[in-house]
Structure 1
């Protein structure tokens, strides 16, 4: 019997993978990898390791979840070391819990290797602290897929900072529901596209203005809502650093 490692690859910057996650890749016989992992991580796999793409984008899945489950069991049953490589953290909107349940039900040994979630990393790279003594004492990580009215009513009234995954498609609806349920229309909001990568782009506004300002921003993107967004004006660093690397220092100063 082999073993399955459910590994969080981190948010996109390949240097943000954990040491344990990297070691799992380095000993893998096969790797099932998702769409949002940095492909450079696969270069750490042993020669001859089988690389199987199972990424999911809206309305397009390379493999169904049931097919992934079957193949994980099949390869581990053949005595192989299997890495299921997921963007971010496998237990934060990554279906890692479902896969771990399935492996236990089938008697397959497994380990969970947590990763840095885009929900915390993308705001950090955009210069937005999710909590701050003067602005926010709580943060709530939520899915932006549901349109249930009661869901957004609760969030509008209770959360200092909202960090929303998979919400860009429903952005107008999300902003409208939060305003309808008592959140100020002037509440700051940020959209962070491809956070922690060289393609990172951040757009800020308010619940009232962000839909018009979003432009061509699409998934993958994190949405951050709350007063902490205003701190970006002071402490954004990654995009500034990228600009300094793109142009010589004397050009920036001049």
Structure 2
């Protein structure tokens, strides 16, 4: 039975996938991609869009629905159903891959799939990818950290004071999914002293038409943070 490849696609730009990841995609007979169900019942998948841009055989692409709700029980059931299909294809001798946006080991839901496959005794390999915040920083020449500077990557923020305290201690802070705690972020931006830099990104490395960047505080405060946004905050 073939090893199942968990392939990181990077932040969304097809050119930012690794050569190893692309090779595994081309070798696969079946490629499973998480998708969301649209109001008309169709499936939308950013991962599948990336595969099409890479000229991957359309017959190999297998979008599977994943419920996008705070209650993760429905999503876990969807992952379980996908794993059933993956296991069946493996049993038939097919080479199977599962895609993950960004890096599969960094805040990725592909971990649920990997765990369920392991429970079935199915072996996987994980192909590394470029996380969104690394691609965002590169797109604007922003330095994330240097020398002995430490970096915190956060997906939640209790208060503006928490962020400002981390920066005051000399730490660089990456804020992932700030739409979940936008009020605390904007309060920190309004209160931060001079010398604290806020770099704000939307859809960078994924959607050129909707990509947005600013380091101006007034411009950031005017934005309504979408799901695909992040900030890099540091002194200097």
Measured against the shorter chain, the TM-score band is: 0.7 to 0.9
Counterpart residue number, 1:125:
139
TM-score normalised by the chain length of structure 1:
0.71
Counterpart residue number, 1:115:
129
Do residues 106 (structure 1) and 120 (structure 2) align? Answer: yes
Q: Which runs of 5+ in 2 are unaligned?
A: 35-44
TM-score normalised by the chain length of structure 2:
0.75
Q: Deviations over 1:150-182 (max 9, x none)?
A: 9758745545211111113422213436888xx
Residues 73, 2 of structure 1: CA spacing in aligned structure 2 closer, same or farther, 3 A cutoff?
farther
Instruction: Please report how far the alpha carbon of residue 33 of structure 1 lies from its aligned counterpart in structure 2 after TM superposition.
Output: 1.9
Counterparts of 2:149 and 2:129, CA distance in 1: 24
Counterparts of 1:219 and 1:47, CA distance in 2: 28
Residues 138, 46 of structure 1: CA spacing in aligned structure 2 closer, same or farther, 3 A cutoff?
same
Which residue of the other structure, out of 79, 88, 91, is the alignment partner of 2:102? 88
Residues 51, 78 of structure 1: CA spacing in aligned structure 2 closer, same or farther, 3 A cutoff?
closer
Counterpart residue number, 2:202:
193
Q: Deviations over 1:175-232 (max 9, x none)?
A: 436888xx647622121111124232102234xx465332x5522112111135xxxx
Counterparts of 2:158 and 2:55, CA distance in 1: 41
Counterpart residue number, 1:143:
155
Counterpart residue number, 2:233:
225
3-state DSSP class of the match of 1:44?
A: coil
Q: Deviations over 1:65-104 (max 9, x none)?
A: 3322332243233323222211110111113333322221
Query: Given that residues 26 and 44 in structure 1 are in contact (C-alpha distance below 8 angstroms), is that contact kept between their aligned partners in structure 2?
Result: no
Query: Given that residues 75 and 82 in structure 1 are in contact (C-alpha distance below 8 angstroms), is that contact kept between their aligned partners in structure 2?
Result: yes
Counterpart residue number, 1:44:
55
RMSD over aligned Cα atoms: 3.3
Counterparts of 1:185 and 1:132, CA distance in 2: 20
Counterpart residue number, 1:27:
27
Do residues 75 (structure 1) and 89 (structure 2) align? Answer: no
Task: Give aligned pairs, total.
Answer: 219
Counterpart residue number, 2:40:
none
Residues 118, 55 of structure 1: CA spacing in aligned structure 2 closer, same or farther, 3 A cutoff?
farther
Query: Given that residues 18 and 115 in structure 1 are in contact (C-alpha distance below 8 angstroms), is that contact kept between their aligned partners in structure 2?
Result: yes
Counterparts of 2:164 and 2:80, CA distance in 1: 36
Q: Deviations over 1:31-90 (max 9, x none)?
A: 2224443714235333521421446767699x7233223322432333232222111101
Do residues 213 (structure 1) and 222 (structure 2) align? Answer: yes
